[in-house]
Structure 1
Amino acid sequence: MRKINIESTLYSQLIIDDENKLVIKFQPKTNVFLYCISEMRDKLRKWREENYRNSEQIVDVGEELINEHASKLGDDIWIIYEQVMIAALDCSRDDLAWSCLQELKRQFPDNTPQHRLNTTAARKRKISILRAQGKSSEAIRELNEYLEQFVGDQEAWHELSELYINEHDYAKAAFCLEELMMTNPHNHLYCEQYAEVKYTQGGLENLELARKYFAQALKLNNRNMRALFGLYMSASHIAASPKVSAKVKKDNVKYAAWATSQISRAYQMAGRGKKENKCSVKAVEEMLESMQITMS
């Protein structure tokens, strides 16, 4: 008897026998249920291992598995409870998430460290939720704990720097960006952002650092207009400082003048062939003139 993939239902399969006659073979109900349980469990495992963000499907499959077949899952039930709980939070199924959490607490009391949400995806999701809720201090604490274990995660370092900037903690934001520049020194955006933080901190030493890193960002990408404006502003501030020598003042005036010419040239190139080009360039020149820092 030959089995072919024509159609299969929950309790039967279509089979062609040796005489080429189509017959229906009924399957035992128990075997079908065991097959369904195994299939659902394998689906959840695959989604879990590959970090799928298909929360609605996870809830659909996981809720049925938990409600109908929990006793048949053995120790796998606990990781399934965790997976379904996270997916339920994504789908605003607070009742299901709470139910899963209570089962986990019952099995793993708070004073035992055997069961924790240690996966990177789950921890990042928790941090995202804290940020969305405006709980910046808690998100910062969670990110710091996360980075103690995953120190090479550039995305996490960048997110932490943004959180510190939002909290006006520029020294710590600068530290995060320094970590990023060490791992990826050719990223012009990291150099530019570090320079902006140093410029915001103020003070002659920080302004000189800002000018250097704005220049480095331009070296890596000469079309970075933010870095070009940053170089102009930092050089102008240094030139206007009463604490610098005549030579330093002269050098920074040259840097600012060069940045001005590059900005004007960039706007001229961008507006080439357009009628409003002259007006645009004039507006830029007036803006740069108004931004000049004078000696106090």
Structure 2
Amino acid sequence: MVSKTEEDRVNSLEVQVDNGGGGAWEYLSLVRKLKLRRSDKVLKHGLALLNDDKARSALGTEEWTLYEQVAIAAMDSQCLDVAKENIKVLKKKFPGSKRVGRLEAMLLEARELWEEAEKAYSSLLEENPFDQVIQKRRVAMAKAEGNMSGAIELLNKYLEISRCLEGTCGNVCLPTNV
């Protein structure tokens, strides 16, 4: 839950950045920290930073975090070519990364290539069956396909795994048929 103070700070920074007053990186960082979805603004201001060589290099290693944030915002905004380009940059920097693999699967999902996305997610879950982001993506994907019974089944699996990871299960939990 976002506090009133945090919400006020985000809104203030958003107005400042929208009006050319600087603070784009602070705004984007706060949006990410608070797990807000302001995809159009993230896309606009994130691309401005990524397309400015000086600003991008000033980010240091946070550059890669921004590429990921912009890729997700681009998918939310159906700017799939932008998402693809950002993921391509990340894949080149981090070949074989599971995190980049997740982004690639999300791009397949955004393109409504359901079977390919499901295969990609399943492959990633074989390596880490406790990946909650992928578990939630599979629920959302089933819902987007209109498969409510499948979404409910996947949601129940996710909740079971989530409870286990939070330590509310009395013993070690291993997912079955994930």
TM-score normalised by the chain length of structure 1: 0.33
**Structure 2, gaps ≥5 residues long:** 1-15, 164-178
In the aligned structure 2, how far is the partner of 1:131 from the partner of 1:94?
8
In the aligned structure 2, how far is the partner of 1:96 from the partner of 1:140?
21
- After superposition, the CA RMSD in angstroms is 4.6
Deviation for aligned residue 1:131: 10
Q: Which amino acid aligns with 2:27?
A: K
1:120-159 to 2 correspondences below 5 Å? 126=106, 129=109, 132-135=112-115, 137-138=118-119, 141=122, 144-145=125-126, 148-150=129-131, 156=136, 159=139
Q: Which residue does the alignment assign to 1:116?
A: 99
Q: Which of 53, 68, 71 matches 2:37?
A: 53
Q: 1:138 to 1:48 in 2, by over 3 A?
A: same
Q: Is 1:106 matched with 2:79?
A: no
Deviation for aligned residue 1:52: 1.2
Q: Which of 54, 58, 79 matches 1:72?
A: 58
Q: Which amino acid aligns with 1:79?
A: T
In the aligned structure 2, how far is the partner of 1:105 from the partner of 1:150?
20
Query: Aligned pair count?
Result: 128
| % identity of equivalent residues | 24
Q: Which residue does the alignment assign to 1:43?
A: 27
Q: Which residue does the alignment assign to 1:87?
A: 73
Q: Which residue does the alignment assign to 1:217?
A: none
1:125-274 to 2 correspondences below 5 Å? 126=106, 129=109, 132-135=112-115, 137-138=118-119, 141=122, 144-145=125-126, 148-150=129-131, 156=136, 159=139, 180=160
Deviation for aligned residue 1:60: 0.7
Greater strand percent: which structure? 1
TM-score normalised by the chain length of structure 2: 0.51
Asked if 2 retains the 8 angstrom alpha-carbon contact of 1:55 and 1:88, the reply is yes
Asked if 1 retains the 8 angstrom alpha-carbon contact of 2:87 and 2:100, the reply is no
Q: Which has the larger radius of gyration?
A: 1
